[in-house]
Amino acid sequence: MSNYILLEHLKVQNANCIAGFTYGFPAITHFLGYTHALSRKLQQQFGIELTGCAVVCHQHQVQAYQPSGWGDYVFALTRNPLILKNGNAETAPIVEEGRMHLTVSLILESSKAFSSSQQQQLVETLTVLAQRQKLAGGQVICLKGVSLYSDDDEQALSRKLLRKVLPGFVLTDRSELLKQHYQQLIATQPNATMLDAWLNFAALTYQAVTAEDVDSSTEQHAVEWVRVPKLDKGYLVPITTGYKAISALYPAGAVANSRDPQYPFCFVESAYGVGQWLSPHRVPDVRDVVWRYRQQGPWYLCTTNTSQNALKLHPEQEAALAELPETELTYF
């Protein structure tokens, strides 16, 4: 039996929209951290463990603007109160921060069924806890409702659950497309790196195009800058998917100024992959879009199951991927 908890339409203000080299949406680790914090509280009171989380975005607004009405965007920063320094009131330094307002629905995967005697109390408890915690550093200002779902029929449960989060877009992991694109890139550019392949999903590229009826050897001419379309495989975006250890694991208290000296410490850097935004009606099985932790060796990654149903690749792409050696996600 599958068991899910739906936190419907969480409105969050001033969430962190910067994630490593990317911006525009919080890192997936924020949402799994939010789920883990809820899970620890529910385990103590109800014995329920939350093992994953699906993220559906309904609305987002990055707090940025164009100073001159065109060109690059800059973040809208807050003006902090004056500080007292040497008896004088001085302007506090501005630390650039990226903030956004967003409305999301979270589908939490539960490890056990909900007994009829605890369902009402569980809903009331989650209604309070979900709005008390911060999400991606932002304040939860509104929650439409909390619903519990349990069913042996996974397909019927998926249809019922995903219909509740329409309209919206659900984020899923498609980092296997990054591996595939990298292999295609080095076939034509032997010196290309995984970073070059990842930037093809992230960068906006333009190229100069000359009119066909102009003789470039004898005539001066103007060129037209045309935007190069990104890979036509869906609404693909670069995302931060986890971390990789870059040092040994130090004993508790061995590293000064660590966040919690009671636990072992390790230095890490961000790992990046590729995600895809899908309309929920295109997802036949909700299990395919639930993000879960995966830790192996130095890698600590958040992944979804993208090998089934509508998220399955084209047969030609599957055949190509099957011949490739196993590679890790982008790390730099």
Query: Among 138, 114, 128, 116, which Cα is nearest to 38's?
Result: 128
Average pLDDT over residues 149-154: 79
Indicate the angle between helix axes 194-202 and 175-188, nearest 10 degrees: 120
- Mean pLDDT for the stretch of residues 239-253: 90
At 54, the pLDDT band (50, 70, 90 cuts) reads very high
pLDDT at 306 over 80: no
Distance CA 158, CA 288 (A): 10
Predicted confidence at residue 32, as pLDDT, reads 93
**Please, what is the average pLDDT of the chain?**
82
Residue 26's pLDDT is 92
Confidence class for position 232, pLDDT limits 50, 70, 90: low
Alpha helix positions (H), the chain: 28-46, 119-132, 154-164, 175-188, 194-202, 315-322
Q: What is the pLDDT of residue 7?
A: 93
Q: Output the pLDDT for position 203.
A: 77
Region of poorest pLDDT, from 44-48, 184-188, 268-272, 317-321: 317-321
The average pLDDT across 85-110 equals 85
Q: What is the pLDDT of residue 31?
A: 94
Residue 6's pLDDT is what? 92
- The reported pLDDT for the residue numbered 220 is 63
Residue 165, CA distances (Å) to 58, 113, 123 in order: 8, 22, 18
C-alpha 291/C-alpha 32 separation (Å) is 8
Bridge partner list, 114: none
Instruction: Check pLDDT > 80 for residue 213.
Output: no
- Predicted pLDDT of residue 106: 94
pLDDT of residue 158: 83
Q: E strand or H helix at 55, and its extent?
A: strand 50-62
Between residues 80 and 267, the one the model is more confident about: 267
| Res. 94 pLDDT band, cuts 50 70 90 | confident
More confident residue, 55 or 90: 55
pLDDT band at 1 (very low <50, low <70, confident <90, very high): low
The whole-number pLDDT of residue 217 equals 61
- pLDDT of the residue at 76: 81
pLDDT for 150 equals: 83
- Cβ neighbors of 133 (< 8 A, separation 6 or more) are 34, 37, 38, 140
C-beta of residue 15 within 8 angstroms of C-beta of residue 111 = no
CA angle 215, 218, 222 (to 5 degrees): 60
**What percent of the chain clears pLDDT 90, i.e. is strictly above it?**
25
Tokens 């001066």 sit on residue: 220
The tokens 């806890």 sit on which residue? 129
pLDDT of residue 321: 36
Is pLDDT above 60 for 316? no
What pLDDT score was predicted for residue 175? 85
- The pLDDT of residue 141: 92
Q: Is the pLDDT of residue 318 over 60?
A: no
Is the alpha carbon torsion for 118, 123, 125, 129 positive or negative?
positive
